[in-house]
């Protein structure tokens, strides 16, 4: 049965307010299950980015250190080439079989890729097979992550239509938890291990930690209930085709709104490498500054998400994108002029606040772009296409720009361009749909169009 609308979320204001009085035990269980599993998914991605320099020397050896780092970052990006495929396969599976089934599948795939990385011998031991197998492991992780965002976001966003912003923002908060965990490992290992120890076994420890948490996440996810909005009778006959053909404008706008979120996220992951290599900041200080971003996301994402339920997504996201666009270049100029730990911390706090304010309402906005029957496919495609093109290769692009220009300000130019793209997309959404309104005032303009 083809679903052309989403009447299940078009609740009256009184009914909506009745459901928004609190968070039930079952809903908290969903928040915990999705957050723990989602944090684990992104943790494995983050630690690869953090330890790209070590991985590059061990699996992509080269006489040129920059070339070795670029090859490592290229493999980081290759995983993102698989994410649209993961979005297609797992997203469509989630729309047909349910959000819960898709989440369990994605985390099992992530554990498989991580297990390969944990036990994989280096180039010195097995030669060319090492970088090939590392690439295969990253591709499996990419497939997994491609389906994770859409499935997790759909499950969270569908807990309560009146509070989509609050529930869906836990997707962002869980990524903040991931950044904190990855940065904590970076701090501990950079201060306690020698370079030889790090290159020997030290870099594998975070991946082993992530692998050990996997079974716990699988167990928790199997205990949660299916999404209250998922109904097999409402599923589109071909969800993927419906998104690509019938909902093309929504998909294009969704991709554009994700650009700033993904570039700012992977800029944060790149910052330790940038601060250490380009600015000469101690490794422990660089990782500590990144941990601040994770703490900001974890603590403030639900606040911004809940706020967007009251004032609308646009009222928070557009100012955050505009301020990010205006501030990013001056902040990098200020940091490069005197690269101290104190200035790095200030820059990370400002960018972390702006990025979180923008990112937190975004999952709810994306959920409201697509009806329930195609929601996971639409969410997955919009997010993962943007992440693949603009985010996954961000460290590679930034490193190349720095090498080509000789300027430490290159990251700010790339991030500023991303902010401009997303700000324009938000304005188009505002004009096209009259308003990006909070669901608690009744069906939003996006929802009303879905019902036509």
Neighbours of 425 (CB within 10 A): 21
The percent helix, strand, coil of the chain (3-state, each to 5) is: 85, 0, 15
pLDDT average, residue stretch 349-371: 92
> And the tokens for 165?
């912003």
In the predicted model, is pLDDT for residue 249 greater than 50? yes
In contact, 209 and 117? CB cutoff 8 Å: no
- Residue 450 reports pLDDT greater than 60: no
Q: Over pLDDT 90: what percentage of the chain?
A: 20
HEC sequence for 30-93: HHHHHHHHHHHHHHHHHHHHHCHHHHHHHHCCCCCHHHHHHHHHHHHHHHHHCHHHHHHHHHHH
Residue 133 in contact with residue 117, Cβ under 8 Å? no
Q: What is the mean pLDDT of residues 267-279?
A: 71
Per the structure block, which two tokens stand in for 407?
């300027």
61 compared with 347, residue with greater pLDDT: 347
Q: H/E element holding 97?
A: helix 83-97
More confident call, 41 vs 262: 262
- What tokens does 4 get? 């052309």
pLDDT band at residue 62, thresholds of 50, 70 and 90? Answer: low
Tokens of 72: 């490592």
pLDDT of residue 354: 95
Region 365-389: what's the mean pLDDT? 85
pLDDT higher for 172 or 39? 172
Residue 201 pLDDT grade (very low, low, confident, very high; cuts 50, 70, 90): confident
Question: Over 50: is that where the pLDDT of 444 sits?
Answer: no
* Structure confidence at residue 6 as a pLDDT band (50, 70, 90): very low
Mean pLDDT of the 74-78 span:
68
pLDDT of 338 higher than 90: no
Q: 132-170, pLDDT tens digit by residue?
A: 888 888 888 888 887 777 788 888 888 888 899 999 999
Quick one: which of 144, 91, 6 has its CA closest to 379?
91
pLDDT above 70 (res 278):
no
Position 265 scores a pLDDT of 81
In this prediction, residue 20 carries a pLDDT of: 47
In angstroms, the CA 7 to CA 141 distance is 35
What whole-number distance in Å separates Cα of residue 434 and Cα of residue 412? 32
CA atoms within 13 A on the CB side of 434: 9
**Long-range own/partner contacts, residues 244-252 (CB < 8 A, 24 or more apart):** 244/381, 247/369, 247/370, 247/374, 247/378, 249/432, 250/369, 250/370, 250/378, 250/382, 251/378, 251/381, 251/382
Q: What average pLDDT score do residues 319-331 get?
A: 95
Please state, as a whole number, how many other Cβ atoms lie within 10 Å of the Cβ of residue 28.
Answer: 11
Q: What is the pLDDT of residue 362?
A: 95
pLDDT at 187 over 90: no
What value does the CA radius of gyration of the chain take, rounded to a whole number of Å? Answer: 21
Q: Distances in Å between the alpha carbon of 253 and those of 9, 24, 274, 419?
A: 21, 33, 31, 14
Instruction: Look at the alpha carbons of 343, 348, 351, 357 in this order and tell me if their dihedral is positive or negative.
Output: negative
Predicted confidence (pLDDT) per residue in 85-141, tens digit: 888 888 778 777 777 888 888 888 888 988 999 999 988 888 888 888 888 888 888
Q: Which of 40-44, 55-59, 172-176, 216-220 has the highest mean pLDDT?
A: 172-176
Q: 295-333 burial, b for 16+ CB within 10 Å, e for fewer?
A: bbbbebbbebbbbbbeebbbbbbbebbbbbbebbeebbe
Give me the chain's average pLDDT, please: 79
What is residue 438's predicted lDDT score, i.e. its pLDDT?
A: 43
Determine the Cα angle at 356 with ends 147 and 318, to 5°. 100
Report whether pLDDT(19) > 50: no
pLDDT > 70? residue 231: no
Structure tokens at 58: 């061990």
Q: How far apart are CA 336 and CA 182, in angstroms?
A: 25
**Of 47 and 106, which is predicted with more confidence?**
106
Dmax (CA) for the chain in angstroms is: 68
- pTM comes to 0.78
User: What tokens were used for 323?
Assistant: 């301020």
Confidence (pLDDT) at 397? 79
d(C-alpha 7, C-alpha 371), whole Å: 9
Q: In this predicted structure, what is the pLDDT of residue 232?
A: 64
Q: How far is CA 13 from CA 35, 163, 237, 441, in A?
A: 29, 12, 31, 6
Helix, strand counts (H, E) of the chain: 22, 0
Question: What's residue 134's pLDDT?
Answer: 87
Q: Please give the Cα distance from 9 to 97 (Å, whole number).
A: 20
pLDDT digits (tens, 9 = 90+) for 386-439: 888 887 677 677 777 877 877 778 888 889 999 999 999 999 988 886 544 444
Report the C-alpha gap between 367 and 230 in whole angstroms: 13
* Token output for 370: 């697509």
């Amino acid at each position: 049965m083809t679903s052309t609308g989403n009447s299940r979320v078009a609740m009256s204001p009184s009914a909506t307010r009745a459901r928004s009085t609190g968070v039930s035990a079952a809903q908290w269980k969903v928040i915990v299950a999705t957050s723990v599993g989602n944090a684990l998914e992104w943790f494995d991605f983050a630690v690869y980015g953090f330890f790209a320099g070590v991985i590059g020397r061990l699996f992509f050896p080269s006489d040129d250190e920059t070339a070795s780092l670029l090859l490592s970052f290229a493999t980081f990006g290759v995983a993102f080439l698989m994410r649209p495929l993961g979005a297609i396969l797992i997203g469509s599976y989630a729309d047909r079989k349910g959000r819960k089934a898709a989440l369990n599948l994605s985390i099992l795939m992530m554990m498989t890729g991580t297990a390969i990385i944990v036990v994989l011998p280096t180039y010195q031991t097995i030669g060319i097979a090492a970088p090939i197998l590392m690439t295969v492991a990253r591709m499996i992780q990419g497939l997994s992550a491609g389906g994770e965002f859409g499935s997790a976001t759909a499950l969270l966003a569908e807990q309560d239509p009146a509070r989509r912003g609050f529930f869906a923002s836990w997707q962002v908060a869980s990524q903040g938890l991931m950044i904190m965990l990855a940065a904590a490992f970076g701090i501990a290992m950079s201060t306690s291990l020698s370079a030889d120890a790090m290159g020997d076994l030290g870099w594998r420890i975070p991946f082993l930690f992530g692998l050990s948490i996997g079974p716990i996440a699988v167990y928790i996810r199997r205990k949660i209930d299916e999404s209250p909005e998922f109904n097999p009778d409402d599923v589109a006959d071909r969800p993927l085709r419906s998104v690509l053909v019938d909902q093309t404008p929504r998909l294009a706008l969704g991709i554009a709104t994700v650009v700033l979120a993904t570039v700012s996220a992977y800029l944060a992951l790149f910052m330790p490498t940038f601060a250490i290599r380009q600015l000469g900041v101690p490794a422990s200080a660089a990782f500590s500054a990144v941990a601040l971003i994770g703490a900001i996301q974890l603590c403030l994402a639900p606040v911004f998400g809940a706020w967007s339920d009251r004032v609308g997504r646009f009222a928070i996201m557009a100012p955050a994108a505009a301020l990010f666009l205006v501030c990013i270049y001056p902040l990098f100029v200020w940091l490069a002029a005197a690269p101290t730990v104190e200035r790095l911390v200030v820059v990370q706090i400002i960018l972390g606040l702006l990025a979180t304010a923008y990112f937190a309402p975004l999952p709810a906005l994306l959920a409201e772009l697509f009806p329930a029957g195609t929601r996971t496919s639409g969410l997955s495609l919009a997010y993962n296409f943007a992440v693949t093109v603009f985010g996954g290769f961000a460290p590679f692009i930034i490193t190349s720009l720095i090498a080509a220009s000789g300027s430490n300000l290159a990251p700010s130019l790339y991030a500023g361009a991303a902010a401009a793209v997303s700000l324009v997309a938000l304005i188009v959404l505002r004009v096209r749909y009259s308003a990006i309104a909070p669901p608690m005032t009744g069906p939003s303009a996006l929802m009303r169009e879905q019902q036509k």
